[in-house]
Amino acid sequence: MTILITGGTGLVGTRLLRRLVAAGLDCRALVRAGKEVPDGVATVEGDLLDPVSLPQAVQGVTAVIHLAAVLRTPDPDQIQRVNVDGTRNLVVALQDHAPDARVIMASTSLVYDADLSGPAREDDATNPKQPYPASKIVAEQVLRDSGLTWSILRLAFVYGDADDHLQSAPRLLGSWNWHPAKTLSLVHHQDIAVAVQLALTGAMDGRTVNIADDAPATVLEIARLLGVEYQELAEPLTNPWEGHLDGSLARELGFTPTVPSMYRSAAAGTL
């Protein structure tokens, strides 16, 4: 098996690549000039926005893990170009040069509506207002319509391996005015690797799957674990299920998180 990874130099990609290499998998990364990847990973220079560079990248691959995306930028057009047009360019290259490759695309829990009546399930409403999740919904559909073998992993809030993402959560969620009792589903980098390796077996083919740990945490619990201040309120919580994923489908398909909660991660020194 030869696996192509897009976004291999990002927050998720660098950590995932190290784990895939450690598992003995043959990994190839699509990288822009000057970017570095972990040891043991072959590189192909190219860009999702440069279709001419993609045939060489996909030639001979048996699977693609599509992580590349733009998230936080004030330029919504850039988000659209990379997340949607880049995905479309990758799909076309695969259709033409590696039509039998299995494609695993990372998406986000942010796609779900805020006012659901329970934890978000994969068939629940998605109508995101922000540019990033809106672009991921379109990119998901591009892949579904491709005729390729695909799976889509909607990741909960990613943390761990000293990536500082969880550490930024109280400040970020505070800027969004999230109630301290709002619950957030989480997933450790270690378990993204678990989910991806399961998807590589075909267990998630043709499915959109929420990937989260076993213990959603409130914003206040996250802040307290990190030792930072966060507003404490007694007023009622509106939209109580926003940010909370139902992970039962992933369990049915064979996914079991190895880091079941942020508290376990803290105890192991892997936050």
Whether 132 is catalytic: yes
Joined together, the tokens standing for residue 192 give 């993204």
Q: Please report, in angstroms and rounded to a whole number, the separation of the first and last CA atoms in the chain.
A: 31
**Is 58:44 a contact under the CB 8 Å cutoff?**
no
| Neighbouring C-alpha atoms within 13 Å toward the C-beta of 247 | 24
Round to whole Å and give the CA distance between 193 and 21.
11
Rounded to an integer, what distance in angstroms lies between the CA atom of residue 126 and that of residue 134?
9
Give the SS3 label for residue 192.
Answer: helix
* CA pair distance 17, 41, nearest whole angstrom: 8
Question: Which residue in 132, 159, 230, 263 is the catalytic one?
Answer: 132
Nearest alpha carbon to residue 76 among 128, 127, 134: 134
CA dist 12 and 188 (Å) reads 10
**Residues taking part in catalysis:** 132
